[in-house]
Amino acid sequence: MVRNLTFLFLIMFIGCEMNSKQVIKPEKFIFEEVRFDSVSKRLIFKDFKEDSDIKNMKKIINYWFDNKIKTNGFDGALDAKVNNIDIDKLKSTNYFKVSINLAFEFIEIKENSKSKKTYNVEASEYGEIEGSFSINDQENLTLNLMHQALNGVSKKLSDLN
């Protein structure tokens, strides 16, 4: 009897796992390091309406800026301005769509030579889910697109520098 119950519970557990499979898996991103010829760096956010997605994007940008934007100069300062964070979501019964647009302005100022370099970088990402999906799938898609957009900024900066 115990074997039959164990076998029955095992089949139920496997069946539940198959039905609750996630559509979107969280991805791991490895951002490239970007180096600027300056001594100090500062991150500046424009005023954005504060919702949970904007707060998450700000946390991701802060982490990226603190860990992947490096300074290696003897003079000057780097100002990184986040000019735009636009996250649009569209949801219906069997459809979920997200688009993310980022706009940065990086300004390198050399005090001794009075020179100034400006880099304007934009990135856009888009994703959608159709069919049956969970709230967790929506959140994973949104977070993955946030990371992809920032990864696009990193790659564009690496090409410019």
At 139, phi and psi to the nearest 5? Answer: -65, -40
The predicted pLDDT at position 42 comes to 92
pTM: 0.76
pLDDT tens for residues 1-17? Answer: 667 667 666 666 565 54
| Tens digits of residue pLDDT in 81-110 | 999 999 999 888 888 899 999 999 999 888
- Which percentage of the chain shows pLDDT scores above 70? 81
26 Cα distance to chain centroid:
12
Q: Nearest Cα to 57, choosing from 80, 27, 82, 32?
A: 82
DSSP H helical ranges for the chain? 2-19, 52-68, 135-160
Pick from 30-44, 76-90, 108-122 the range whose average pLDDT is largest: 76-90
Q: What is the structure's pLDDT at 100?
A: 93
pLDDT given at position 138:
83
Give tens-digit pLDDT for 36-75: 888 889 999 988 788 888 898 999 999 999 988 888 878 8
pLDDT band with cut points at 50, 70 and 90 for residue 20: very low
Q: Is 40 helix (H, G, I), strand (E, B) or coil?
A: strand
pLDDT of amino acid 18: 41
DSSP 68-108: HEEE--SS-EEEEEEEEEEEEEEEETTEEEEEEEEEEEEEE
